[in-house]
Amino acid sequence: MHKGLEGVYVLESSLCLIDTEHGKLYYVGYDVEELAEKSSYEEVSYLLLNGRLPRRSEFEGFLTKLRSEMELTPEEKRDVQYAAKRTGPMDALAAFYLFASKDPPQAKDQMEHAIKAVAKAGSVLGNTIRVQRGEEPIESQPELGIAGNLIYLVTSKRPEQYQVEFLDDILILHAEHGVPASTFGAVVTASTLSDVYSSIVTGLMTLKGPLHGGAAEAAYYQFVEIGDPDRVESWLERTLAEKRRVMGFGHRVYKIYDPRAKYVKAMAARAAELAGGRVKTLYEIAVRLEQAAIEKLSSRGLFPNVDFWTPIVYTAIGIPPGYFTAVFAVSRVVGWVAHVLEYWKDNRLIRPLHLYTGPEPGQRYVPIEARG
């Protein structure tokens, strides 16, 4: 038996290769760092959904479909308002897709619904943040792209170009990562021939768990707790003595430096330089903590993961800390959907076995009056 399915191959996929020996990550054969540097989240979405990069005409058609779906209908805005006033951000996202699943799509429409699911995510989250701040939903700006539109909805102003580039890169880096718990959950749901939206709901509710999502928010509050770069060493000594975790360190897959973290670290340095103030302080704390923690933890295979550095970039963009996991979810929608579409090409209901550890069979039933 393999507890937590650790080391078990549960499916075949052409979407993602995690090279743990060399610390590299590939989407459909393309180095994710090169994609972040040269591509866009929209183009990477096409790559994951179709298994190849698009020709110009194909990409223009794909963009047209995405942009046409980024705006929320009046009914969808009402759904967002209803959920946002009653739940947290992850639950609000799940509620939106749950409402969308009320009319399950036909099999021939699944790609269209996949595109719709990817396009809606940022608009739903942006307006969820607005509603939870006591503001009204506003119209999306599809020409800004998925990253730029999300920043616009959150801040109510057109974002700076560097902010769009930062968020677009983060969306790319988080778009796909093999079969973590949320992706596996989405595929399990899909294996029953449920619909795309229900699979996304499963992914969202799995990502909501603190052992999967939430590390970026925890890392942010860790930096806030430290407060000053000069307090890093004493904070770390106390934390390790109390056997508490350094948030943003370690990964179930990587036992070396997370390749996504290297890329985001460089972004965080630039964000600190451009934004200054609080962002710069957070960055200085993170740099000092990284150095001190690597000295203590690297021998155990614990190095910074992507969630260690993303809080600094999110803060520079204007994303409130309580929504970091939800931004992660927005980016991962395309990964979940891509796995669902891929699995359906050779679908088989996922039904694993369990090892029974209960009492011996043949226990005799004793009436309740005679049980003492």
- Evaluate whether 180 touches 6 at the Cβ level (below 8 Å): no
H helix or E strand, kind and range, residue 26: strand 24-27
Question: For the range 235-240, what are the long-range contacts, defined as Cβ-Cβ under 8 Å and sequence gap of 24 or more?
Answer: 235/289, 236/289, 236/292, 236/293, 236/296, 240/296
Which of 43, 141, 125 minimizes the C-alpha distance to 322? Answer: 125
Give Cα 283 distance to the centre of its chain.
22
Q: Is 113 a catalytic residue?
A: no
Catalytic residue among 113, 177, 251, 339: 251
Residues, the chain, total? 372
Closest CA to 204 of 88, 61, 85, 292: 88
Residue from 174, 258, 307, 339 carrying the catalytic annotation: 307
Q: Give the DSSP letter of residue 6.
A: T
The neighbouring-strand residues paired with 256 are none
Residue 307 known to be catalytic: yes
- Contact of 177 with 18, CB cutoff 8 Å: yes
Contact 279, 267 (CB under 8 A): no
- Which sequence positions are flagged as catalytic? 251, 307
